[in-house]
């Protein structure tokens, strides 16, 4: 397995797990029946941290849609090298930092982490296009 696929697999696993904190809060706030029901306008709101957590998870999925194909393209085209492996590792950790900073309401760190992940994806795209 290439380093790019390794970091992509870790990113996919993390992205799959990031939903659990806000789902647990939904169960605590609305009960199991309310969690399983379709959301409605009269539902009790989640805790503020859980709402931020949910938005952070959505942002992670939105960015994964660009990162994953870029990492796969690097692997399939055999363009991986230490730079692309590092870019994938940076993406993984940047997304974790972004999630935590967003959930705990740390705006400056959240923004820096977002741009670190975005820059990592750009490195992969540039490598696929032969610009790096």
Go through the domains of the chain in sequence order and give each one's CATH number.
3-39+46-128 (1.20.120.550)
What's the mean pLDDT in 89-117? 97
pLDDT one-digit tens code per residue, 44-60: 999 999 999 999 999 99
SS3 annotation, the chain: CCHHHHHHHHHHHHHHHCCHHHHHHHHHHHHHHHHHCCCCCCCCCCCHHHHHHHHHHHHHHHHHHHHHHHHHHHHHCCCCCHHHHHHHHHHHHHHHHHHHHHHCCCHHHHHHHHHHHHHHHHHHHHHHCCCC
User: In this predicted structure, what is the pLDDT of residue 39?
Assistant: 86
pLDDT band at 67 (very low <50, low <70, confident <90, very high): very high
């Amino acid at each position: 397995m290439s380093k790019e696929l390794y970091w992509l697999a870790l990113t996919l696993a993390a992205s799959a797990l990031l939903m659990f904190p806000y789902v647990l809060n939904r169960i605590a706030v609305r009960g199991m029946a309310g969690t399983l029901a379709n959301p409605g306008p009269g539902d009790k709101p989640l805790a503020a941290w859980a709402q931020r957590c949910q938005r952070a998870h959505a942002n992670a999925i939105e960015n994964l849609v660009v990162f994953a194909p870029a990492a796969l393209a690097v692997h399939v085209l055999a363009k991986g090298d230490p730079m692309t492996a590092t870019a994938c590792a940076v993406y993984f950790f940047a997304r974790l930092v972004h999630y935590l900073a967003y959930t705990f309401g740390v705006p400056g760190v959240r923004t820096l982490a977002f741009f670190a992940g975005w820059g990592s994806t750009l490195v992969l795209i540039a490598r696929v296009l032969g610009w790096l």
